[in-house]
Amino acid sequence: MRSLPWWKEAVIYQIYPRSFYDSNGDGEGDLPGITSKLDYVQQLGVDAIWLSPFYTSPNKDGGYDVADPRNVDPRFGNLDDVKALIHRAHELHLKVLADIVPNHFSDQHEWFQAALLAAPGSAERARFHFYNAHADGTPPNNWISLFGGPSWTQVADGQFYLHLFDSSQPDLNWDNADVKEDFEKTLRFWLDLGVDGFRIDVAHGLVKEDILENHHDPQGLSNALRLDYPMEPEKRNELLLTVPYFDRQGVHEIYRDWRKIFDSYGDREIMAVAEAWVHPPINATKYVRADELHQVFNFDLLTAPFEAAHLFEVINRSLELNATVDALPTWALSNHDSPRVASRIGDEASRALSLFVLALPGSNYIFAGQELGLPDGELHDSDRQDPSFVRSGGLVKGRDGARIPLPWSGDSTPFGFTAGTPWLPISQSWQSHTVEKQFKDSASLLNLFRAALALRRQYLLASQEITWIESPIHGSKDGSILAFTRGAFTVVMNVSDQSKEFNIAGEILLASSGDFQVSVGKKLLPARSCIWISN
Ligand code: GLC
Ligand code: CA
């Protein structure tokens, strides 16, 4: 069987703790809730879970505003609950990844509170980026926060501090020895508690350059960084090639030091995956050089249109680029920061694409609810909590739609998620999406995922190579079919909105569309569908 490290081709299930399962009726998911549902996770057939932050936090940015990185927020439970969760996960042979947030702390962290009380130039302030205002009172530079508005906020004595995100998330100064030391302590703290690795938040952002210089086009840069913002590719390219606060050389030194810590845990095969939005794409591979991290997210499929040429390009590029550093790609169609794939490209296309990418070499990240085909929830503006909604004055709707709690059972909202009122409303239209219903329905997406994960584990992982047989540059170049072989299987996807003939020699093992007649010979592949065939 496979001799690869566990994470090499792992399927990792992302849990947003607040939205998974509420064990105590307060309307918010929590750690005991997750533990109680780990059997469900295990039955999906995934290898690991990644938990979005559950640390002490005022929750201004969904917990990515950490006030104590070595403790648990009471809304989620306590440290014993984490231990119990890890223990149960390991009993079920599931690995556990924690989310570490090294770019910033919450303004409620004791360091920042001390910095506010301390004088300009003090050791307390040196852990963050505090600078004096210009003579005319304006901030040290003109950078714009990723959530909108200036990335500087002024404190009582007139100094400004830098925050790439919300004003409640002061950026840490990674040139400061205390910062480096504290994060190494945090890594060891969770590793000693039993976690198997980390997802590293904003991994590309830790080092800033030219912090006292204005950017020539701050608004343009801010727009270019918003992937949903329409912009000429040349213009975006020009702006993204040098972002003074992203993907600077210095970040790699940090991860080389972290890697030594991970490796010091020997047989436990600790792994880390970087959230690094970098440009051009080749830069992402630097994060997975042999002495750095193990994986880096590939975000191409979060925004890719359902088109053969585009999908082929981004998939093939990722395979080729990762091969240059002897790494395998990662694939993700949804996460807590982006629209859910079923809403973005439609129900059928998202089923097809899910099946397609599950067959590709590399790791798959599945955002909880994706296996249920959840769309983005419908929300009134008054329900929205994302700081990007608030800071942009409502211009950006924000990420709450993808963070609606999961529907578990029953026929009426909130579908077993909570005995109370869910923190975001769950639409009654999710009635057919519940775990309970989908488990019973052999044609459900949930059961398709389970079948795909089981076949993947059993047959696909034997080989890390694929051979394209249909693409814009392979086979008939018809432009509507993407197909490859991997080991014993052939995987075929029809991206067009018409059914297409395809010569099928082997047995059809899985089909994303129920309309497909399972038989042998030249068959019609339904519009927007994917099949796995045995060779
Ligand atoms: C990452 C997280 C996102 C958060 C941001 C700031 O991008 O995924 O949810 O808002 O970092 O911490
Ligand atoms: Ca709760």
64 near 18, Cβ under 8 Å? no
Query: Rounded distance, CA 85 to CA 29, Å?
Result: 14
Q: What is the mean pLDDT of residues 211-232?
A: 92
**What are the tens digits of pLDDT across the range 311-367?**
999 999 999 999 999 999 999 999 999 999 999 999 999 999 999 999 999 999 999
Distance 454 CA to ligand 2 centre (A): 32
How far, in Å, is the centroid of ligand 1 from the Cα of 314? 23
Burial 313-323 (b: 16+ CB within 10 A, else e): bbbbebbebbe
The percent of residues in the chain predicted with pLDDT above 90, rounded, is 92
Task: Say if residues 204 and 246 touch (Cβ distance below 8 Å).
Answer: yes
Mutate to test the pocket of ligand 1, among 51, 57, 64, 167 (most ligand atoms within 8 A of CB): 64
Q: Confirm whether 28 is a catalytic residue.
A: no
The active-site residue, picked from 73, 99, 171, 275, is 275
Per-residue confidence band for 495, with pLDDT thresholds at 50, 70 and 90? very high
- Identify the weakest region by mean pLDDT among 9-13, 323-327, 500-504: 500-504
How far is Cα 95 from Cα 273, in angstroms, rounded to an integer?
14
Ligand nearest to the CA of 418: 2
Residue nearest to atom 12 of ligand 1 (CA): 64
Out of 201, 247, 292, 371, the active site residue is 201
Cα–Cα distance, 55 to 64 (Å, whole number): 9
In this predicted model, what pLDDT tens digit does every residue of 388-445 receive, in sequence order? 998 889 988 999 999 999 999 999 999 999 999 999 999 999 999 999 999 999 999 9
User: What HEC string does 33-88 produce?
Assistant: HHHHCHHHHHHHCCCEEEECCCEECCCCCCCCCCCEEEEECCCCCCHHHHHHHHHH
Query: With bands split at pLDDT 50, 70 and 90, how would you rate the model's confidence at 519?
Result: low
Q: Which ligand 1 atom is nearest residue 101's CA?
A: 12
430-to-372, 404, 469 alpha-carbon distances in Å: 10, 11, 38
Which ranges in 328-464 belong to alpha helices (H)?
Answer: 341-345, 347-358, 387-391, 435-440, 445-459
Write the pLDDT tens digit of every residue in 138-194: 999 999 999 999 999 999 999 999 999 999 999 999 999 999 999 999 999 999 999
307 among known catalytic residues: no
Query: How many CB atoms are located within 10 Å of the residue 347 CB?
Result: 14
Domains, the chain, with CATH or none? 11-103+177-453 (3.20.20.80), 110-162 (3.90.400.10), 463-534 (2.60.40.1180)
Instruction: Report the nearest atom of ligand 1 relative to the CA of 335.
Output: 8
pLDDT in tens, 290-317: 999 999 999 999 999 999 999 999 999 9
Q: Which residues contact 319 (CB under 8 A, 6 or more apart)?
A: 329, 360, 361, 362, 466
pLDDT averaged over the chain?
95
Which ligand ends up closest to the CA of 297?
A: 1
pLDDT in tens, 89-124: 999 999 999 999 999 999 999 999 999 999 999 999
Kindly give the distance from the C-alpha atom of residue 422 to the centroid of ligand 2, in angstroms, as a whole number: 9
Distance CA 204, CA 276 (A): 5
Three-state SS for 490?
strand
Which atom of ligand 1 is the closest one to the Cα of 61? 10
Supply the pLDDT for residue 520.
Answer: 53
Query: By three-state DSSP, how is residue 244 classified?
Result: coil
What residues does the ion ligand 2 have nearby, CB within 5 Å? 22, 24, 26, 28, 30
Enter the pTM of the model. 0.97
- Map residue 179 onto helix, strand or coil: helix
Distance 36 CA to ligand 2 centre (A): 12
The minimum-distance atom of ligand 1 relative to the CA of 337 is: 9
> For residue 414, is the peptide bond before it cis, meaning its omega torsion is within 30 degrees of 0?
yes
Contact status, residue 478 vs residue 505, Cβ threshold 8 Å: no
- Whether residue 1 is predicted with pLDDT greater than 50 in this model: the reply is no
CA distance 411 to 408: 10
CA 336 / ligand 1 centre spacing (Å): 9
Query: Which ligand 1 atom sits closest to the C-alpha of 65?
Result: 12
Residue 150 pairs in a beta bridge with: 144
Cβ pair 12, 364 in contact under 8 A: yes
Q: Please report the pLDDT score of residue 226 as a whole number.
A: 85
Tell me which ligand sits closest to the C-alpha of residue 59: 1
User: Is residue 517's pLDDT more than 70?
Assistant: no
Q: How many CB atoms lie within 10 A of CB 181?
A: 10
3-state helix, strand, coil in the chain (%, to 5): 35, 15, 50
- How far, in Å, is the centroid of ligand 2 from the Cα of 398? 23
Judge whether residue 2 has pLDDT over 60. Answer: no
Q: Please state the three-class secondary structure of 390-419 as a single string.
A: HHCCCCCCCCHHHHCCCCCCCCCCCCCCCC
Q: What whole-number distance in Å separates Cα of residue 484 and Cα of residue 114?
A: 58
Q: Of ligand 1's atoms, which has the minimum distance to the CA of residue 64?
A: 12
Give the tens place of pLDDT for each residue, 339-355: 999 999 999 999 999 99
Detail the DSSP E strand segments found in 244-377: 271-274, 295-296, 330-332, 363-367
Residues lining ligand 1, judged by CB closer than 6 Å? 61-62, 64, 101, 165, 201-202, 275, 336-337
Contacts of 460 (CB under 8 A, 6+ apart): 359, 486, 487, 489
User: What is the C-alpha radius of gyration for the chain, rounded to an integer number of angstroms?
Assistant: 23
| pLDDT over 70 (residue 286) | yes
* Residue-level pLDDT at 332: 98
CA distance 37 to 167: 35
**CA–CA distance, 213 with 211 (Å, rounded to integer):** 6
Q: Which pLDDT does position 516 carry in this prediction?
A: 57
**Which residues, 6 or more positions from 142, have their beta carbon under 8 angstroms from its beta carbon?**
150, 214, 215, 218
Probe target for ligand 1 pocket from 18, 103, 162, 202, with the most ligand atoms within 8 Å of CB? 202
Measured in Å, residue 32 CA sits from the centre of ligand 2 at 8
Closest protein CA for atom 2 of ligand 1: 201
Q: Which DSSP state fits 378?
A: P
Of 376, 510, 349, the residue nearest 433 (C-alpha): 376
The predicted pLDDT at position 321 comes to: 96
